[in-house]
Amino acid sequence: MTDKNRNELKGKVMTIGDLVEYQPGTVSSRMVINNSAGSVTVFSFDDGEEISEHTAPFDAMVTILEGECSVRLSGEFFLMKAGETIIFPANEPHAVSAVTKFKMMLVMIKG
């Protein structure tokens, strides 16, 4: 999404999960905010899709918007559902896998 498209969202009431649609066999994303302080991205995962284990240099907060997923954080597993939030500490390995189709919002704050 371009800065112009992101700016069109400002000052509008929205349902954040509606900003990204499910796509068969894939993970889709839409960046809503992106600046030097951090970013907000909304993701949709088709059933069985995942983001493999990785690390990030900043703390990241994930909120499940709909559906269910499995989260692995530093070797520990969590089953999460809509309305639940987890914070991934900076530099800790984490992964996210769809148990059902699900949507999540990722907030990353730099600094």
Retrieve residue 83's tokens.
Answer: 């309305």
Which residues, listed in sequence order, are joined to residue 73 by a DSSP beta bridge?
A: 76, 94
Summarised one tens digit per residue, pLDDT across range 10-30 is 899 999 999 999 999 999 999
- Residue 85 sits in a domain of what CATH number? 2.60.120.10
Pick left, alpha or beta for residue 74 (phi over 0 → left; psi -120 to 50 → alpha; otherwise beta).
left
Query: CA 15 → CA 4, 18, 59, distances in Å?
Result: 20, 6, 24
Summarised one tens digit per residue, pLDDT across range 33-91 is 999 999 999 999 999 999 999 999 999 999 999 999 999 999 999 999 999 999 999 99
Q: Is the pLDDT of residue 1 over 70?
A: no
How many domains is the chain built from? 1
Retrieve residue 15's tokens.
Answer: 């349902």
84 vs 32: CA distance, rounded Å: 20
Per-residue DSSP letter, 17? G
Which domain, by its residues, includes 34?
3-109
Predicted structure pTM score: 0.92
Closest CA to 66 of 20, 31, 8, 107: 20
Helix (H, G, I), strand (E, B) or coil at 21: coil
86 vs 29: CA distance, rounded Å: 19
Instruction: Give the pLDDT score at 3.
Output: 65
